[in-house]
Chains A and B, each alone.
Chain A
Amino acid sequence: MTVTIDTSGRGDAAFGFWSSARIVMWRGWVKTQRMPSIVVQSLFFPTFFLIVYSGLYDAVTDLPGFPTDDVTNWFLPFMLFQGAAFGGLGAGFGTAVDIDSGFFDRLLLMPGNRSAIMVGSVGYALLRSLFVAVVVAGVGVALGASPTDWAGVPLLALAVVAISIMGSLYSLALIYRVKDQRVAPLFPIGIFVLLFVSSAQVPLSVTTGWLNAAGRINPVTNLLRLGRQAFLDTGVTWEDTWGGLVAIVVCTALLGWWAERGLRHYNP
């Protein structure tokens, strides 16, 4: 039996891009299922924080300027973001392990467009993030969160997907450049800072000093505004929506470009 391989053209992009991306994603998913401890770890923090925050900061919503009285409604979207962002980092962690073991070379030896590796990694991290998001949302509902405007739910879902993709692209952009597994534990720091220096804990109008100034220019604040609409008294408005959409498009494009360039110039 023979397999004919067309060696005439240079059409790298046409060389099974989506099937390659899908198989990389499939591998990540198979591995995740065989290492349940990874899933447990990515579930722990958002779930734990959601439960603790809804008890610990129950009184905070009494402050003037809070757009809801329900502390769980307030914190649930943020915890979904947190789960999605750290789930997204799984793309970079997985790649770091592959680089360390040499498996990444095997992927790099594919004849097609190498960006399929990146897309596949983002895809499997997204699967993981969505799994975490569903569990965290379930815990939130059990704690009493309930949407005030169902039109906001798809917007929240969109924001969660976008955050996971951004987290993946960020971690991939870094690991494609540093190529060293030992640096990977530092990746969450950037995400952690970005997430918290925003309207994550209280509305911008309640924050004071530097946090107010920094939160204003942090795109995460826009994303939170977009995602939180499902759970606030104000409901969905265009004013709270467009900034988040712009943030998604701009940040995803920039991070995608950054990661893709890192991979394109991967060969040391």
Chain B
Amino acid sequence: MAEFVIDCLLGILILAAAAFLLIDGRRGSMRKKQRNMLTRILLCAAMLLLLQLLPASIFNQLDRILFPSAGRWLRFGAYFLNYLLIGYDILRKAILGVKNRQVFDENFLMAVATVGAFALAIAENGDYLEAIAVMLFYQIGEWFQSYAVGRSRRSISELMDIRPDYANIQQNGALERVAPEEVAPGSIIVVQPGEKIPIDGVVVEGASSLNTSALTGESMPRDVQTGDEVISGCINLSGVLKVRTTKEFGQSTVSKILDLVENASSRKSKSEAFISRFSRIYTPAVCYGALALALLPPLVRILALGLPGDWHVWIYRALTFLVISCPCALVISIPLSFFAGIGGASREGVLVKGSNYLETLAKTSYVVFDKTGTLTQGVFEVDGIHHCQMDQTKLVEYAALAESASSHPISKSLQRAYGKELDRRRVGQIQEISGCGVVAQVDGLEVAAGNQKLMRRLGITPVPCHEVGTVIHMAVGGCYAGHIVISDQIKPHAKQAIAQLKAAGVEKTVMLTGDAQPVAQQVATALGIDQVFGGLLPEDKVAQVERLLEAKPSKGKLAFVGDGINDAPVLSRADIGIAMGAMGSDAAIEAADVVLMDDDPLKIPKAIRISRKCLRIVYENIVFAIGVKLLCLGLGALGIAGMWLAIFADVGVMILAVLNAIRALFVKKL
């Protein structure tokens, strides 16, 4: 019965290998080394099947024709040839390993196990099949590992295929294709419909819509026209664009992203460190275990119990141990899971800068937001002007001029509200008072624009505002001149994002803001945020995050979400820093651990879900692989599991773990 099963198995194996080779002949998806190995596997399996089907009587007849036991030797010779065919490279590596004092090399151990099994079989003129089969399946495992990893490596790179191949430059009236690396900043390139924008730049002619999905995971096209900045990696959908490049190719967004994702898996996670430590201990431990199993029980039987040693039984069990000594399944599946997870996330517009960050992200229990630019648009609009002592437009004009040097979103909104070109010559002696506001000389008058603190500092009594919003008190020439109320728009998905974070298991959401507490509280209540700290200066935010870090339970991690502008210290202080809306912002890509390419807050819970899925797969693989190995060791020691089961378990676990790891790539529907 068992014979029949094995013959069938070999038959299936031969068909599968042949089919693979035929398909590959057309597609060329294997490397030469892999194809050679598969051919060897095919030949070995075919020869083994042939030898198995040969009736034993043939060898017995040889005894009569030639000399006694000739059949036995011939049979051994045929099987040994078969063994060499599949295992010669392992034997060679084993010998090299011994020369280089690498005793716990898996080639060496596999060689010992199979040669040992062979020797036991010679002694009994019995089952050579086992030794060959163990070698055969070990090689299949190795082949599969190499093939699967090669394939997933390629499919992940294909997913990340945002690298442009060429740039069009106009020369003598004709378009010429050149390598993107050769285009100097300031050149004019032409991007036709259907092409990728190769280099970051500014549109100088034409209008079109761009597909940014490869960068942001966002499928809505973005419209651009003359004067707009465009980012490399986007696909031009409709019109011809002429773009003046602003960066070299190497500094462009697309190169940065590719670098980041490729290098991300070099930053190893704790799980990976654990596995490489484990594998360093595991192999020697199993080997010593095998040695003990080969020597101790027979000696105890002979010396203490007065029974026969049964050496061959115990040596066989020890050899079974050696078959399971390779930690391959673990060592391959963990980095593969992380690689797939990072690749899948980047496809969704979530760039994770390292496996370690993916791991930390999965443990997030506190999420701290910097309000502006993450939960709110960061685009302020003037809501009202109160208690104004002069013409309202005049007040806005003063405010815009005083704030003309600042890039703060509030200043920008004032400048927008003024709506006309600012004449900077009218402004002098600008003093920015961090967390308070600005004092400047406008048209020779001292203009102060800022919050209540600034007014008190200047000895002016501000009129409190009854409306909720950010209030900018103005003082012109030392007298109170009224206040401007501006408010920030909450992002459409912000509330949903907070709810999803809760659903994903985040314990606490916190909002930090420079706005006054009542404003902050109102936004927080509207969004369902647990805790708010308002009226914070930039440096207070670091201190606040530090306090939260101390207060949180030690196991959970604290994630800080910012817009990447002015919050680098907080991003680096948190366990994990997430920068949003970072497309094209170098500073944010530098400072953060996780970069969200667009500014949709729903990407935050999504990033956490992706990391959780990836980590779940990692843990599944660790528990599953170690569990099966330990089980096999136990059964092997008791003699219940033979080498057959051991090698099947070993290769099977590896294949399943690799397939499971690839699952981390599929995160679209999370």
A and B interact = no
